[in-house]
Amino acid sequence: MNRRNIMTLAMAAAMCLISSSVLIAQSYSFKLGQWAEIHNALLRELNRSYVDSLPVDRMMRAGVDAMLEELDPYTIYIPEEENEDLQMLMSKTYGGIGAIIHKKKGENVIINEPYAGSPAQKYGLVCGDEIIAIDGFPTKDLESKESSDRMKGKPGTTVVFTVKKVRTGDTLDIPIVRERIRLPDVEYAGMLDDTTGYILQSGFTENVSGEIRTKFQELKKQGMKRLVLDLRGNGGGLMNEAVNILSLFVPKGSLVVTSKGNSPESYREYRTATEPIDTQIPIIVMIDSGSASSSEIVAGAFQDLDRATIMGKRSYGKGLVQSILQMPYNGQIKITTAKYYTPSGRCVQAIDYSNRNEDGSVGHIPDSLTNEFRTASGRIVRDGGGITPDVDVPVQNYSRLVYSLVLGGIIDQYVIDYSRRHESIPAVDDFHYTDEDFEDFISYAKTQDFDYRSSAKTLYDQMKKELEKDGLAEAMKPELDALGKVIEMDKERFIRLKKDEIIPFIEEELATRYWFQEAGVKVRLRYDDQLKKALAK
């Protein structure tokens, strides 16, 4: 085959590729236009022929939401009236009084947890105070969200609460000036011992990197020789803040994350742009299955650059980048535009939303399809979803009873009841929930309605149902009854058996109510066995 023939074949192949690309693009555009036309025709016909008036707003919102759900859970539409919710999501700020409330249907709003330094605290609201009315509107008639929405508002405006004070029983009208409330991303920073500094970071909103810088410098002055950056349960946030945090501890110009989308324009490399404050101090980064997105950018970059030791459990596996774009009528869309990759080239995305099973579910990337990558020093790391820690540290397992007490609100309600009966507790460093106190909790919990079955009992109940479906329950009744007696346990006995699991949760919640959020973290650290094991490695 001569040179001319080769050139002719190459040109023909190129023309075929171009023609194919054009046809695919035209087909895609045709399909898009076809469905847009069908959609508009449906609406016109429904509007003309449907027997009743159309709930247009509800229909269109449901349609938009259903359409976006076919993509991934993070691509969402935000109409103008929900922009405040988006601001809360992106910046963890809102206009209000700064308190968590407790609300049961048909009952008054209860102040559950005021924030330190908030208007709620400044104006004397404490855990257990009842909000009878908000600007004269009775709270008994409101749902929890309605109550919260009425408490929020533009900073500088005044809201009047009619409050029944928990300590005195007096009913007062208390005008409170709303402020811009910002929930901190750095929930706690302190020394765990003479040389170990600790920073608990719960999010990645604007300027959290500045907070980390300040706290780090304060801890250095206190004698810190190693740092624990705790990202457990941190669901992420702004990518640029992840880059800025890494900039504090790795050389200027280091590649820390790359994003890639469908278009060539979406490819971006993110490098540290400022001089670090410390490139030598040993760092431990704690992660778990709740560490996602920007948390994984930080952990993955630290790991790939061999700058920190990653400890804990495998992270969540969210390697998607979202952008916020403006839509008509002041709406916005938060849309997934790219995937991100760690410096070694790993993608941490664990789930492929673009390929769904027949039942509509999506699957994790199988281990057989994972690939090896190398850190800066040549260590092997793998992709396939999440960041696998350098040191796996087991997490404490809790009984089903504890989950029921926490998620069912029993401990929360008990703490409010305790606060009504006790004006104060000792300072957090001296406060311990005693065995005598636990008897008080047992007396309270025994009166509450909640699912206190053990995991074994729930499996037993399910097994009985399955046997009944198969028509075998009667034939196996003696054996079932005998097994049921063995695993049956009354509420009080089960609570007593799980005392050591339950007390830390009560102690943390009480410390938070009386001494605010940092006190609660201090108590949590007191019982954090996973962290203690990590530090002992």
Based on the residue annotation, tell me whether 293 is a catalytic residue of this protein.
yes
Question: Strands 130-134 and 158-164: what pairing?
Answer: antiparallel
Nearest alpha carbon to residue 185 among 161, 203, 197, 162: 203
Based on the residue annotation, tell me whether 260 is a catalytic residue of this protein.
no
Catalytic residue, chosen from 147, 293, 344, 419, is 293
Give the integer Cα–Cα distance in Å for 47 and 52: 9
Q: Which residue has the tokens 């998607």?
A: 320
Which residues touch 86 (CB under 8 Å, ≥6 apart)?
78, 324, 332, 334
Contact 336, 75 (CB under 8 A): yes
- Residue type at position 528: D
DSSP one-letter code for 51: S
Catalytic residue, chosen from 129, 185, 288, 304, is 304
Report residue 12 as tokens.
Answer: 């023909």
Give the integer Cα–Cα distance in Å for 298 and 270: 12
Based on the residue annotation, tell me whether 148 is a catalytic residue of this protein.
no
Q: What's the burial of 423, exposed, middle or buried (CB within 10 Å: 0-12/13-18/19+)?
A: exposed
Give the integer Cα–Cα distance in Å for 103 and 493: 30
Contact 375, 306 (CB under 8 A): yes
Three-state SS sequence of 233-292 = CCCCECHHHHHHHHHCCCCCCCEEEEEECCCHHHCEEEECCCCCCCCCCCEEEEECCCCC
- What 3-state DSSP class applies to 157? coil
Catalytic residue, chosen from 92, 313, 318, 522, is 318
Nearest alpha carbon to residue 294 among 342, 355, 250, 235: 235
Q: Cite the active site residues.
A: 293, 304, 318
